[in-house]
Amino acid sequence: MDITVAKEDLIEDSGNYNERHARLKLQKYFSNYPFLESIKVFFRGKDHKYKKVKLKARLKGKDIFVEARGDKHDVALDNAADKLYTLVEKYKSKHYKRA
């Protein structure tokens, strides 16, 4: 299953658990980082022991890719979101310096 989370998206009650969890977890990034345009979420490994989540974040002028795995998709999503936070903060410190 692949979903896209964008700035304008509202958190909906429809969809499955993984989709709602992804929207709740990633929606906070849009309020904190105005240069973030969208995040694509790719859930992989439905039939495997370890589940993998890949995130592709579109920033102004750059794409960032992260992936993580875990026993369940929501654990893998939490790990990937932590990695995304690190890379977005690095992008912010490099391109948006305080005066």
User: What is the CATH classification number for the domain harbouring 85?
Assistant: 3.30.160.100
The average pLDDT across 34-54 equals 88
pLDDT of residue 17: 83
Q: What is the pTM of this model?
A: 0.83
Cβ atoms of residues 87 and 66 within 8 Å: yes
- Sign of the dihedral through C-alpha 77, 18, 51, 41: negative
54 pLDDT band, cuts 50/70/90, is very high
Q: How far apart are CA 90 and CA 96, in angstroms?
A: 10
Is pLDDT at 18 greater than 90 in this prediction?
no
- Sign of the dihedral through C-alpha 25, 26, 27, 31: positive
pLDDT of residue 92: 87
In total, how many domains does the chain have?
Answer: 1
Q: Domain range for residue 49?
A: 2-95
